[in-house]
Structure 1
Amino acid sequence: MALLHQFKISDGRVTYKSRFLSSDSYQSNQEHNRIAVSEFGTINMPDPCKNFFQRFLSRFELPSEYLTLPTDNANVSFVTYKGDYYVSTETNIMHKVDPETLKTIAKVDWSKFIAVNGATAHPHTDPDGTTYNMGNSYGRKGAIYNIIRVPPTKITEEETLEGAEVLCSIPSTDKTKPSYYHSFAMSENYVVFIEQPIKMDMLKIVTGKLRRKSISDGFSWNPKLNTIFHLIDKQTGKVNSTKYLAKPLSTFHQINAFEEDGLLILDMCAADDGQTIANYKVQNLRKSGEALDEVYNTLCRVFPRRFVLPLKVDRDTPYDQNLINRPDCTATSKRIGKDKVFCTHEDLHGEDLHQYGGLEFPQINYGKYNTHPYRYFYGCGFRHLVGDTLIKMDLHGKHMKVWEHAGLYPSEPVFVPSPNATEEDDGVVMSVVITPNKDKSTFLLVLDAKTFEELGRAVVPVNIPYGFHGTFNTTA
């Protein structure tokens, strides 16, 4: 269940509060004292109080929670629209929350405003507050990917997603098996959608309840398919006629994207395998000893990569010739067809990152450097199923700084710039660190973003579970 956390730093003191999201899923589970609503990786089990005949009949009920009542357990990320705070997952339901009290204010359904069946938990925001997101829709013509745009301001205080619009729609390459996406990239003038070979079998997902399978059972990896980068003009909504192809890869989080010298530079955390979701099954998390070592050794490793896409590809563009002429750039793009360019990546790291198991949960100085050339990003090293190090990567020379302590597991790093900062890494990096071998000794870690040296810890006398994504609210 979604559990919201808040650390407040003021006058040299740190206070902490947490509150469960008051979702319908949470209330139903509380009422039944068990998992009563199916989630992404969890199928609800029959009520043990029902007799055998009742449980048998329950298998043939319509799968209403998948068709009309998706989970509203928004447990992935804090997001903002029109200055308001929401918590979100990947269904069409978000919850508006009070960032001060963490109380649930309202349930908001995307489908009440635009024709989508869900949206990502990783929107992007322009400097003027205009927000972009993505959501699927399904109809007679098959699955469609939709680019969503939400205006920056409200007319009334009660507004939520009023004024949201579908900027453009992109048909899925496979009408019955659209690609899964956790996020997307954005540059100054383009939204970049990455259609990857992680496929969703809609028939399996819809019949999941009948088959006693979770939603994740409908996901599969098809290594025979290329990855496709779709570029959408943010002003016109027009999809670039050029399809940029790459070998099969899986990506959950992008680092940054920006335009320079007629090129779009796209940085992301990616892997050559799409089995990442399977790593986090409860069966794996409960393993120990040699069985757990086997899981570690077969983990899908994720590393930071750069793709460079030439924005101008026309009939005069030569074939089978590298179109990238940036100095010291090893990424390539070659025209292989009328509207096709095949791309290879450049590693954004040195060999030393391999000993830390790769990098995920990337963060940058978003407010000032998102959609612009940048130098630094921060993330978690993943030698285990969860992050066990914090890493700062310097793209000038691909050098890295590391924070690590045995037995400590940090969450996603959150960068906070210093007031009136003049340098990109002038600020602090904060992370919630769990200590599974000790009771009630979780702490908020604060690092100097420039030196990556520890500035302090605020120990919380409660047990906090490992979390996903956080956000920084405000500086007073």
Structure 2
Amino acid sequence: MAKAFPSDDPFLRGYYAPLHTEADAPNLPITGEMPPGLRGTLYRNGPNPQFAPRGRYHWFSGDGMLHAFHIDNGRVAYRNRWVRTPKWAMENEHGEGMTGALGSRHLSDPRILELNSTVANTNVVWHGDRLLALEEVHAPFEVDPVTLEPRGYHDFAGKLSGPMTAHPKMDPVTGEMLFFGYAARGPFTPDLMLHVVDRAGTLQRSVHIVAPFPSMVHDFVVTRTHVLFPIFPLTGSMERVQSGRPGYAWEPDKGTHIGIVPRDGSAADVRWFTGDPSYVFHPMNGFDTADGKIVCDMMKYEVAPLFPLPDGRPPSDQPPTARLVRWTFDLAGTSGSYREQPLDDLPGEFPRLDERFAMQPYRHGYYCAAAVTEATKGRDTSGGLAHIDLSSGRIARWLPPQGDHCGEPIFVPRHADAGEGDGWLLSVIWRGADNRSDLAVFDATGIASGPVALAHLSHRVPAGFHGNWRAAA
């Protein structure tokens, strides 16, 4: 029998509460006018637990649910489906949760542990004619791009034997996809595997790198010439797990280590830079400069959020927040440190850009202009969007009504030859007072004016993580 979800967990209430239904809506009602040139599908992914877990819930542990908004000729169709992973299927068959969430694996049914199943709840990407639902400790899980039905694990013709990050990088020049896996040789190991996949989806090369210590490596940075692996002091420890303590915990004394390797290099070519303790879930972009430097724009936390100290205590009195900073690495110099410059002083998360300018100098960035967990504080808060012009430093913001919160902004070019930043910004907005969501379309050059069009759902899209746009053929 399915048990009721706990009522005292902020990540199971309001914006974060699971949606218990799957739906098809072929014609969403629209306010404003959908741009006629906007044709394609916005895919969104996020945690949406099918059943209450055993023990305490962690937001990162919910089953993945995909939300697809198909836009064509001014019309918007919607479909959502759970990602039917082996874990989801087993629990669905039994009619109850069989899993302990992150940090409570000891409560999981042995049959679930034997599956070693993905939850596929963090991102969804289109590459090599495949739609892949991702999280960071398993192989990618393929789904049908139209029906969202499962196609199963994708291991790149047997060449991938370990995990794949939820944040692969698509090279807009070569069409390559670069990705990595951490804990690549077993849980809480310091091993990283870098993989390069060609435009057609064939895995071409892999490089094994050993980090200074086991760490939760959520994302990384790629430029035209280099790959950067950030090793932050959110450490992993099997010994802690075996003694009933947190598997991942904040150990600031270990500091930050950034490994930089040429894109065509090997483990012997890695150069390590060190800095003060910090954590970054999401970089905005990185690029090379003409004088031998690498620039990375990062949403930096002073303390890792959502994880404890090794003894289980919270690492800070207040929930940590991220701010946009620029890190500069001088590859021509002899220093083992890097320079930091603040770019914005307000909390933000989920940074994105015009992906046609990924891995190269760029001007326009976009992000959620609020702490990622702001909605847990109740209806007296709201979370909007921001656009930063990196050439001038000017920042434009749009704030929705109180109680409403915007999801990650996704940029779509106005047309194939449009200049950088000339296009549309898509975000799914939770309307707190009505407990439902809208798909919002902004003119990316003027987000402060508000959405030019809204497609209205009659239900809520729960707080999620990431998504991407697939243009129509």
The TM tier, using the shorter chain, reads: 0.7 to 0.9
> 2:166 maps to what in 1?
121
Q: Determine if the alignment matches structure 1 residue 460 to structure 2 residue 460.
A: no
> 1:446 maps to what in 2?
441
Q: Determine if the alignment matches structure 1 residue 300 to structure 2 residue 335.
A: no
> 1:424 maps to what in 2?
420
> Amino acid of the residue matched to residue 169 of structure 2?
H
> 2:258 maps to what in 1?
229
> 2:85 maps to what in 1?
23
Deviation, structure 1 residue 234? 1.1
Deviation, structure 1 residue 240? 3.8
Taking the aligned partners of 1:413 and 1:272, their CA distance within structure 2 comes to 24
In 1, are the aligned partners of 2:188 and 2:238 still within 8 Å (CA)? no
In 2, are the aligned partners of 1:113 and 1:164 still within 8 Å (CA)? no
Of all paired residues, the percent bearing the same amino acid is 23
> 1:244 maps to what in 2?
273
Deviation, structure 1 residue 407? 1.2
Q: SS of 1:72's equivalent?
A: coil
Deviation, structure 1 residue 94? 2.1
**Match for 2:94 among 32, 40, 49?**
32
After TM superposition, the structure 1 stretch with the greater mean CA deviation from structure 2, 86-95 or 298-307, is 86-95
> Amino acid of the residue matched to residue 378 of structure 1?
Y
Distance 1:458 1:139, change over 3 A: closer
Kindly report which structure 2 residues correspond to 1:374-389, keeping only aligned pairs within 5 A, or say none: 374-383=362-371, 385-386=373-374, 388-389=383-384
Q: Determine if the alignment matches structure 1 residue 311 to structure 2 residue 331.
A: yes
Distance 1:111 1:193, change over 3 A: farther
In 1, are the aligned partners of 2:124 and 2:466 still within 8 Å (CA)? yes
> 2:380 maps to what in 1?
none
In 2, are the aligned partners of 1:226 and 1:246 still within 8 Å (CA)? yes
Kindly report which structure 2 residues correspond to 1:340-355, keeping only aligned pairs within 5 A, or say none: 341-349=336-344, 353-354=345-346
- Tell me, which stretches of 5 or more residues in structure 2 are unaligned? 1-62, 376-382
Which of 1 and 2 has higher RCO (CA within 8 Å, sep 6+)? Answer: 2
Distance 1:140 1:13, change over 3 A: closer
Taking structure 1 as the reference length, the TM-score comes to: 0.76
Measured against aligned partners, the alpha-carbon deviations of 1:12-52 in whole angstroms (never above 9, x if no partner) come to 21111111111111112212222113443665857xxxxxx
Distance 1:42 1:392, change over 3 A: farther
After TM superposition, the structure 1 stretch with the greater mean CA deviation from structure 2, 428-437 or 68-77, is 68-77
Taking the aligned partners of 1:44 and 1:138, their CA distance within structure 2 comes to 21
Q: SS of 2:180's equivalent?
A: strand
Distance 1:384 1:305, change over 3 A: closer
> 2:209 maps to what in 1?
170
Deviation, structure 1 residue 423? 2.4
After TM superposition, the structure 1 stretch with the greater mean CA deviation from structure 2, 37-46 or 6-15, is 37-46
Deviation, structure 1 residue 372? 1.1
Q: SS of 1:30's equivalent?
A: helix
Q: SS of 1:224's equivalent?
A: helix
Measured against aligned partners, the alpha-carbon deviations of 1:166-224 in whole angstroms (never above 9, x if no partner) come to 2x2222323xxx0111110000011100111110112344x48xx5x8xxx31111111
Deviation, structure 1 residue 411? 0.6
Q: SS of 2:88's equivalent?
A: helix
Distance 1:386 1:41, change over 3 A: farther
User: Aligned residues, how many?
Assistant: 393
Taking the aligned partners of 1:241 and 1:92, their CA distance within structure 2 comes to 25
Measured against aligned partners, the alpha-carbon deviations of 1:307-347 in whole angstroms (never above 9, x if no partner) come to 1111224xxx5xxxxxxxxxxxxxxxxx2xxxxx1123001
Structure of higher CA gyration radius: 1
> Amino acid of the residue matched to residue 120 of structure 1?
T
Q: SS of 1:29's equivalent?
A: helix
User: CA RMSD of the aligned region, Å?
Assistant: 2.8
Distance 1:114 1:9, change over 3 A: closer
In 1, are the aligned partners of 2:348 and 2:371 still within 8 Å (CA)? no
